[in-house]
């Protein structure tokens, strides 16, 4: 089981240079959420605490080697009165495996407010934890995510949008209590946001074997939340075409507040049965 506190603990190498430790895994490539979360931690370390991250946009450029540490190089792009921008490159063996920009906004700004509503779904206590057999038969994923409680909502138990090609809904949270630090929970959600989302592109194609990999990842953090309390991940896949699946997720807290939005495109290439 991977401890999120260890994953998000980076070593300072020099000014704006950090190192994330290798995380043992049977996977051939580093989990994308790990790289994105560590890159965000590196960016946060260079920003005044009065500003909080409100968005990130990243590209997965190469598969990470899970048994090697990753170096994070931070570029201080802009420091304004209200907004700060950081660029981060994740590097292994001299090659960039992930590139990200993150934007930070001063706390306390005021403006109009509105929000989409959360679907009516069963409460997490009414559902059983997800098993590998239920979730695309991948025991390696279940082992890697053993520190998180995932509960898939049966499609029969919520109203469907008839104009959406693919829908998937699940509750999730950390099994252990996490630190009382808003930024820590934001970075934890960056890790968790890559869990399960790309699989929503396979919902209309049961049994279709594909090669999967995250290509890009964007997040917007809208309201405070805790990742050790239940969050509802409402996922859709608006399109799959040309071996790429586009996915979109809205994340709500248990009270129904929309706390984050995620958009991701990933490789969904049909596997050659002769290969």
- What does the alpha-carbon distance between residue 266 and residue 264 come to, in Å, rounded to a whole number? 7
Q: Which of 52-56, 68-72, 121-125, 160-164 has the lowest mean pLDDT?
A: 160-164
Q: What is the chain's mean pLDDT, rounded? A: 93
pLDDT tens digits for range 114-145? 999 999 999 999 999 887 666 665 666 677 77
Quick one: how far is CA 124 from the chain centroid? 20
Catalytic residue among 38, 101, 103, 264: 264
User: Cβ of 205: how many Cβ atoms within 10 Å?
Assistant: 15
User: What homologous superfamily is domain 4-108+126-270 in, according to CATH?
Assistant: Acyl-CoA thioesterase, double hotdog domain (2.40.160.210)
Q: What is the pTM of this model?
A: 0.94
Catalytic residue among 166, 194, 200, 234: 194
| pLDDT for residue 28 | 81
Quick one: how far is CA 239 from the chain centroid? 19
Quick one: how far is CA 63 from the chain centroid? 16
Angle at 74 between CA 69 and CA 78, to 5 degrees: 165
| pLDDT for residue 137 | 59
Residue 242 has pLDDT above 70, yes or no: yes
| pLDDT for residue 207 | 87
DSSP secondary-structure letter at 144? H
The residue with greater pLDDT, 136 or 224, is: 224
Query: Span 230-257, mean pLDDT?
Result: 97
- 40, with CB counted inside 10 A (0-12, 13-18, 19+), is buried
3 assigned to active site: no
Q: What percent of the chain has pLDDT over 90?
A: 83
Q: Where are the domains of the chain?
A: 4-108+126-270
| The token pair that represents 82 in the structure block | 């209200």
Query: Span 161-180, mean pLDDT?
Result: 95
174 assigned to active site: no
Query: Span 69-91, mean pLDDT?
Result: 97
DSSP per position, 217-229: EEEEE-S---TTS
How many CA atoms lie less than 13 Å away from 106 in the CB half-sphere? 8
- What does the alpha-carbon distance between residue 94 and residue 29 come to, in Å, rounded to a whole number? 17
- What does the alpha-carbon distance between residue 165 and residue 49 come to, in Å, rounded to a whole number? 41
Catalytic residue among 214, 234, 235, 237: 214
166 assigned to active site: no
């Amino acid at each position: 089981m991977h401890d999120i506190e260890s994953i998000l603990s980076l070593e300072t190498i020099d000014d704006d240079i950090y190192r994330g430790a290798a995380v043992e895994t049977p996977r051939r490539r580093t989990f994308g959420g790990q790289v994105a979360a560590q890159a965000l931690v590196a960016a946060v370390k260079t920003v005044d605490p009065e500003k909080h991250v409100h968005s990130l946009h990243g590209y997965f450029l190469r598969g990470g080697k899970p048994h090697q540490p990753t170096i994070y190089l931070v570029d201080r792009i802009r420091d304004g009165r209200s907004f700060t921008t950081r660029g981060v490159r994740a590097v292994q063996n001299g090659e960039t495996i992930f590139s990200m920009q993150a934007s930070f906004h001063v706390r306390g700004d005021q403006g109009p407010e509105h929000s989409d509503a959360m679907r009516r779904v069963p409460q997490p206590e009414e559902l059983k934890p997800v098993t590998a057999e239920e979730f695309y038969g991948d025991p390696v994923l279940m082992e890697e995510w053993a520190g998180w409680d995932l509960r898939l909502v049966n499609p029969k138990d919520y109203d469907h949008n008839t104009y959406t090609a693919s829908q998937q809904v699940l509750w999730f949270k950390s099994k252990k209590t996490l630190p009382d630090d808003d930024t820590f929970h934001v970075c934890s959600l960056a890790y968790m946001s890559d869990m399960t989302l790309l699989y929503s592109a396979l919902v209309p194609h049961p049994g279709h074997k594909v090669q999967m990999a995250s290509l890009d990842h964007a997040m917007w953090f809208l309201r405070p939340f805790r990742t050790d309390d239940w969050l509802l991940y409402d996922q859709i896949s608006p399109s799959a075409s040309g071996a790429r699946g586009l996915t979109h997720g809205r994340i709500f807290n248990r009270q129904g507040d929309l706390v984050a939005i995620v958009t991701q495109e990933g490789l969904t290439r049909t596997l050659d049965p002769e290969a």
